[in-house]
Amino acid sequence: MQYRRLGKSGLQVSEFSFGSWVTFGKQVDQSDAKTMMTAAYDAGINFFDNAEGYEAGNSETLMGQALTDLGWSRDSYIVSSKVFWGGAKPTQRGLSRKHVMDAAHAALRRLQVDYLDLYFCHRPDVDTPIVETVRAMHDLIQQGKVLYWGTSEWSAQQITEAHAAAREWHLTPPTMEQPQYNLFERDKVEGDYTPLYDTFGLGTTIWSPLASGILTGKYNTGIPNDSRVNLPGYEWLRDMVQSEDGQARLEKVKDLAKLADEIGLPIHHMALLWCLSNPRVSTVILGASRLSQLQDNLKARDAKDKLTPEVLARIEKIMDNKPAGPQRF
């Protein structure tokens, strides 16, 4: 496993990390969560991603129990939570000082840890002044309950405002963003955020590197019964796959699969390595509904040399979706 700095911070994060959205508490039970986290940790993964909104907190409960059972030294791993979707009541959601504080304390209890390494604002909250959220994050850091705070799916403008507020009030600015990034979703990471990498030293912990599994090719000939898009509550994902845009994506996946075949790589390894090939990516968060997928995806690292400049150029030609504006690297 190789490690990258989280933006300009000194934190070394494994290039592949492991997340629990959809899976822990839904497709993955307590025992399998422990087994999968062990496989990840043994392979060198040091970052485990979570959120208060995943399975209404149950995902954090499973991860916390696994961390306690496994007994790894607390200084050997990084664990995150995210605040935004904590419940239905007005005080249980968003980024007010109250909810940021309440959610942090609840995550600490569920994860059974004394501090969160990374704490993300899961989405922007237009009903809370940014400085209120920045101050709440700063205070959590001062209290030793959070080490680094960040955002998820904020615009470059909102991240810039957070930095401006931090500078004005001598507060701690955000260190990292958690955007979606994969062969289909490139606009934020390669477009909007481009000025932020050098200006603020922004780190990125990117999500859905396989576009929820679409980039494995498993949806090319229909929807497998045991896949994410068949789960109750994820009908929106199924609709997305079946939409006109979704079908157009599958055509691209078929073309990518041919290229992957030609260079002797499974398509999902090619898609994961493509994410890693962008040096602005601090870590690629893997998702897996079973151990075999995680083990399979981890093997992508053995084939890094297959993603030559020529192959990257051919991927670019197939995708034909490079964001306009600043260059990628």
Ligand X SMILES: NC(=O)c1ccc[n+]([C@@H]2O[C@H](COP(=O)([O-])OP(=O)(O)OC[C@H]3O[C@@H](n4cnc5c(N)ncnc54)[C@H](OP(=O)(O)O)[C@@H]3O)[C@@H](O)[C@H]2O)c1
Convert residues 73-102 into a mask of x (bound to ligand X by CB under 6 A) and - (unbound).
------------------------------
> Is residue 212 at the binding interface for ligand X, with CB under 6 A as the rule?
yes
Contact 163, 191 (CB under 8 A): no
Q: Which stretch binds ligand X (CB under 6 A): 169-177, 254-262, 285-293, 305-313?
A: 285-293
Q: In this chain, which of 289, 298, 307, 315 binds ligand X, going by CB under 6 A?
A: 289
> Is residue 4 at the binding interface for ligand X, with CB under 6 A as the rule?
no
- Residue 301's Cβ-count burial label (10 Å; 0-12, 13-18, 19+) is middle
Q: Which two tokens stand for residue 131?
A: 């400085």
Is residue 54 annotated as a catalytic residue, yes or no? Answer: yes
**Entry field: residues in the chain:** 329
> Closest approach of Cβ 319 to ligand X, in Å?
16
User: 24 to 43, contacts with ligand X by CB under 6 A?
Assistant: 27
Convert residues 220-239 into a mask of x (bound to ligand X by CB under 6 A) and - (unbound).
-------xx-----------
> Is residue 204 at the binding interface for ligand X, with CB under 6 A as the rule?
no
The one catalytic residue in 3, 41, 54, 148 is: 54
Q: Which two tokens stand for residue 53?
A: 């909104």
Q: In this chain, which of 4, 135, 218, 249 binds ligand X, going by CB under 6 A?
A: 218
> Closest approach of Cβ 83 to ligand X, in Å?
11
> Closest approach of Cβ 127 to ligand X, in Å?
19
> Is residue 288 at the binding interface for ligand X, with CB under 6 A as the rule?
yes
Q: In this chain, which of 131, 296, 306, 318 binds ligand X, going by CB under 6 A?
A: 296
> Closest approach of Cβ 268 to ligand X, in Å?
5
Count interface residues toward ligand X (CB under 6 A). 31
> Is residue 14 at the binding interface for ligand X, with CB under 6 A as the rule?
no
Q: Supply the residues annotated as catalytic.
A: 54
Please report, as ranges, the residues that interact with ligand X according to CB under 6 A. 19-23, 27, 49, 122, 152-153, 178, 207-213, 216, 218, 227-228, 268, 285-289, 293, 296-297
